[in-house]
Amino acid sequence: MSMLEGAPWLLAHKSMLQTNQPQKVSLYGNDYVIWQDKTGQVNGLPNICPHMGAMLSEGWCETEADGTSAVVCPFHALEFDRHGCTILPGTDKKTLPQLKPLDLIIQGDFIWSYGDYQPKIPIPDILEQIAGKYEFIGFTANTSVETDLRSMLLIMHDYNHQNGTHRDLFEITEVRFEKFIDNGYHSEAFFNTPTAPKTFWEKLKQPNQFLLPEVIQAHLENYFPSLVIFYGNSPFGKIAQCHLFVPESLTKTRTYILLFGEASNPLAKLLKNQFLGLSKIVVEQDAGILNKIYSDAPQKIKLNNEMGMDWVNRNFTTWEQPRI
């Protein structure tokens, strides 16, 4: 099992962090506390207090004179600034760093990290491009799933699971696969899927159905291993649904969605919560099936349209090969 060390991971979008509210994130089996101060700066430290091990993410923030803030341990209230330095009671001088800050790379509202590893591939700039073109609708489905990274990526590149995993949501009658463009760690898939016709009354019972077109024209853009973007058209305008993945440990993978929509459509704004709700159901259904498969089972049957999964497996192998 591999967590693809050396890849960049998007730990969060800034909207997921409330000002001065410490939050726990996990990467490669380590827990960190990240927080955003009121100057907009985002900081990260290991989550284990070096005094007696309390979780700093359970504490709070204190703003310093310059507007930056320190995280305060909930146990004995030691304050750690963003460099990991503290002032011990009875002294008035800051210590040397007691915690090694987590390396964060901030691009606009996007908070990336390689953990403590040497970068193997660059951070894709596609999210910044999308943020420039579309309006940010929100984040949803921030879920920690009991599964390894590879199983999570496989389901995200599996074009055949709609009728099993997502059967009640989409009722897809067939997958018409058009093309798969393989560019190493970047790829694109194009397919369309007619959905079963629904009457107005059926839709009324499941109002999310109003958002779905009769034929879902799917264009997926994949940035191995951290990001899958679904570009779709709904009756209310274009959307870019960005699925993110973070390997929390060998057996836990976090996923969440950042949703962007075409800025010009006022209806899309009104339907913001419906769009987010629909995306959330999709992720819940994926998480549900991931908990019900034997992830190390050998695959003895192959279906058509599995090129996305072949791409994932090939890239895992390439990643692990020593570079000459």
Interface contacts to ligand FES, rule CB under 6 A:
49, 51-52, 54, 73, 75-76, 78
Judge contact between 53 and 31, C-beta under 8 A: no
Residue sitting closest to Fe ion (CB): 286
193 contributes a contact to Fe ion by CB under 5 A:
no
Minimum gap (Å) between residue 78 Cβ and ligand FES: 4
Spell out the alpha helix ranges (H) of 105-239. Answer: 126-133, 149-156, 167-170, 200-205
User: What does the buried/exposed string (b/e) look like for 37-56 if buried means 16 or more CB atoms within 10 Å of the residue's CB?
Assistant: beeeebbbbbbbbbeeebbb
Nearest one of 12, 6, 8, 303 to 159, comparing CA atoms: 303
Nearer to ligand FES, 81 or 286 (CB): 81
Handedness of CA 306, 310, 316, 319 (dihedral sign): negative
Nearer to Fe ion, 36 or 226 (CB): 226
Nearer to ligand FES, 49 or 218 (CB): 49
Judge contact between 2 and 8, C-beta under 8 A: no
79 contributes a contact to Fe ion by CB under 5 A:
no
51 interface partner picked from ligand FES, Fe ion, none, CB below 5 to 8 A per type:
ligand FES
133 interface partner picked from ligand FES, Fe ion, none, CB below 5 to 8 A per type:
none
Does an H or E element contain 24, and which?
A: strand 23-27
78 interface partner picked from Fe ion, ligand FES, none, CB below 5 to 8 A per type:
ligand FES
Contact stretch for Fe ion (CB under 5 A) within 18-26, 68-76, 241-249, 284-292: 284-292
CA diameter of the chain: 73
| Helix (H) and strand (E) counts in the chain | 7, 16
37 contributes a contact to Fe ion by CB under 5 A:
no
66 Cβ contact partners less than 8 Å away, ≥ 6 residues apart? 39
189 interface partner picked from ligand FES, Fe ion, none, CB below 5 to 8 A per type:
none
Nearest one of 221, 123, 152, 185 to 315, comparing CA atoms: 185
Nearer to ligand FES, 58 or 135 (CB): 58
286 contributes a contact to Fe ion by CB under 5 A:
yes
Nearer to Fe ion, 111 or 220 (CB): 220
Nearer to ligand FES, 52 or 196 (CB): 52
290 contributes a contact to Fe ion by CB under 5 A:
no
Strand ranges, E, within 175-287: 176-183, 186-194, 215-223, 227-234, 237-249, 252-261
Minimum gap (Å) between residue 12 Cβ and Fe ion: 22
The footprint of Fe ion (CB under 5 A) covers 286
